[in-house]
């Protein structure tokens, strides 16, 4: 490739990257996931009560909780395992956290007990459970359906204990204690003993989703009300815009024409970072904003390092073009080493950290990569382009030169 071709392909690459980033960013209001601290909602951390939980049990735990949350009809819930014993449940914009937390955290072990109090069947054979009005007195009931194996067990059971009582327990709490009238062979049954249809519906959700393989406790529970969430996001956006405008003004004041170029590079940096956050489906939290601000600082810093270096080169008597070329070359090494060290830190934090620390580390890493790209490629290409069309001339285009 000739020098000219190289220049144009660089510019083309920048345009493509910006277009891809902009594509992920569209539509702007919905493209970036906001953390619960910014948009309001409830976050619950559940921990298995037992000290040692198998991987398999944890996986089942997550999937049972997932099913429960999905059946509650909430928008965009997020359930993920953290560490070996914990599950994080995020429920954005939830109205009644109390009920949700109660439903999510219940063990919901369904047991059928014979008159002697021995467990004769559990809820694991349930394939469906629906709440409705029914039974003898048209009361709230749960109609359940058993799998093939459960059907046989249940048939034998109801045969054996005909005329006696079989107690139905949820987490050791008796729901009902009916007398078996006839053997039930169809694998379907009815559970009474609910005070309202809502309660029956809640229990039905639990039964459908299955019992938790291990009992859990809520060890962390945060609810940010919609009012506070809205204040937080509005204030952060406004503050961010004011901050960016200040940075742009300072850069133009300090470095004139090239400050303007840096501002342009910064705008592209902004689009790339936000696009990457949207594209990677990352979640932006308050600590994440701290990470973004640091990376803005580093993006500006990269430009400042380059411009100061060019000014030094001009000061040592080089022509503008020669000064720009050697300034970029020397600054590149500086930027690489300083950013790689920070990147190492960010990567380690992303690996070891949890929650806010990880969010911070991820936004910071994206920011560092984008800032290197914009400072080294975008700023350089634009400066080259302006040099070619003779817009950049005279030494003043990099601000005051020291002798």
Of 289-328, which residues contact another protein (CB under 8 A)? 289-291, 293-294, 296-298, 300-301, 304-305, 308, 311-312
Minimum Å gap between C-beta 74 and another protein is 16
Count, residues near another protein per rule CB under 8 A:
77
Minimum Å gap between C-beta 138 and another protein is 31
Stretch that binds another protein, among 24-32, 49-57, 64-72, 239-247 (CB under 8 A): 239-247
Q: How far apart are the first and last CA of the chain?
A: 38
Binding of another protein by 270 (CB under 8 A): no
* CA gap 331, 137 in Å, rounded: 83
Among 251, 277, 314, 382, binds another protein (CB under 8 A): 251
Q: Which residue's CB is nearer to another protein, number 113 or number 358? A: 358
Q: Would strands 78-82 and 41-48 be described as parallel, antiparallel, or unpaired?
A: unpaired
Minimum Å gap between C-beta 372 and another protein is 12
Q: Which residue's CB is nearer to another protein, number 219 or number 391? A: 219
Q: In a 10 Å sphere around its CB, with 0-12 CB exposed, 13-18 middle and 19+ buried, how is residue 286 labelled?
A: middle
Length of the chain: 403
Q: Which residue's CB is nearer to another protein, number 145 or number 230? A: 230
* Closest by Cα among 140, 112, 145 to 200: 140
Whose tokens are 């059946």? That residue is: 71
Contact code string over 133-172 relative to another protein, x by CB under 8 A? ----------------------------------------
**Subset of 348-377 contacting another protein (CB under 8 A):** 348-349, 352-357, 359-361, 364
Binding of another protein by 37 (CB under 8 A): yes
Region of residue 332 (phi > 0: left; psi between -120 and 50: alpha; otherwise: beta):
alpha
What separation in angstroms does the CA of 269 have from each of 10, 48, 345, 398? 16, 43, 21, 21
Binding of another protein by 178 (CB under 8 A): no
Q: Which residues pair with 140 in a beta bridge?
A: 133
* CA gap 237, 285 in Å, rounded: 12
Among 6, 222, 329, 393, binds another protein (CB under 8 A): 222
**Subset of 71-100 contacting another protein (CB under 8 A):** 97-98
Peptide bond into 27 cis (omega under 30): yes
Binding of another protein by 49 (CB under 8 A): no
Among 220, 319, 321, 322, binds another protein (CB under 8 A): 220
Virtual CA dihedral for 227, 228, 233, 235, nearest 10 degrees?
110
Binding of another protein by 50 (CB under 8 A): no
Among 9, 49, 95, 243, binds another protein (CB under 8 A): 243
Minimum Å gap between C-beta 205 and another protein is 18
* CA gap 114, 96 in Å, rounded: 37
Among 101, 121, 277, 375, binds another protein (CB under 8 A): 101
- DSSP assignment of 236-249 equals HHHHHHHHHHHHHH
């Amino acid at each position: 490739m000739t020098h000219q071709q190289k220049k144009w392909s660089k510019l083309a690459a920048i345009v493509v990257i910006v277009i891809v980033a902009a594509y992920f960013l569209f539509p702007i209001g919905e493209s970036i996931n906001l953390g619960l601290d910014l948009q309001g909602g409830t976050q619950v951390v559940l921990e298995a009560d037992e000290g040692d939980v198998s991987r398999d049990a944890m996986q089942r735990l997550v999937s049972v909780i997932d099913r429960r949350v999905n059946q509650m009809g909430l928008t965009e819930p997020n359930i993920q395992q953290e560490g070996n014993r914990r599950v994080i449940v995020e429920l954005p914009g939830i109205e009644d956290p109390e009920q949700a937390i109660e439903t999510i955290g219940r063990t919901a072990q369904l047991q059928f007990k014979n008159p002697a109090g021995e467990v004769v069947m559990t809820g694991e054979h349930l394939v469906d459970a629906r709440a409705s009005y029914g039974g003898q007195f048209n009361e709230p009931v749960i109609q359940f359906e058993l799998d093939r194996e459960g059907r046989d067990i249940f048939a034998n059971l109801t045969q054996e204990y005909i005329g006696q009582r079989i107690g139905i327990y949820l987490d050791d709490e008796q729901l009902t204690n009916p007398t078996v009238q006839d053997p039930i062979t169809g694998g379907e049954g009815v559970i009474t003993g609910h005070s309202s249809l809502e309660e029956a519906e809640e229990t039905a959700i639990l039964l459908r989703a299955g019992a938790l393989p291990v009992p859990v406790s809520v060890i962390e529970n945060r609810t940010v009300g919609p009012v506070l969430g809205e204040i937080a996001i509005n204030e952060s956006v406004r503050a961010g815009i004011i901050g960016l405008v200040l940075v742009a003004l300072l850069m133009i004041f300090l470095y004139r024409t090239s400050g303007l170029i840096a501002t342009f590079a910064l705008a592209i940096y902004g689009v790339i970072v936000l696009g990457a956050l949207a594209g990677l489906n990352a979640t932006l939290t308050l600590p994440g904003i701290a990470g973004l601000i640091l990376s803005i600082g580093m993006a500006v810093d990269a430009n400042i390092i380059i411009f100061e270096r060019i000014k030094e080169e001009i000061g040592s008597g080089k022509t503008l073009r020669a000064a720009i070329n050697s300034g970029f070359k020397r600054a590149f090494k500086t930027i690489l080493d300083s950013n790689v060290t920070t990147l190492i830190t960010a990567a380690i934090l992303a690996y070891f950290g949890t929650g806010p620390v990880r969010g911070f580390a991820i936004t910071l890493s994206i920011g560092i990569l984008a800032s290197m790209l914009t400072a080294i490629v975008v700023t350089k290409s634009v400066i080259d382009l302006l040099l070619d069309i003779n817009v950049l001339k005279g030494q003043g285009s990099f601000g005051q030169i020291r002798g």
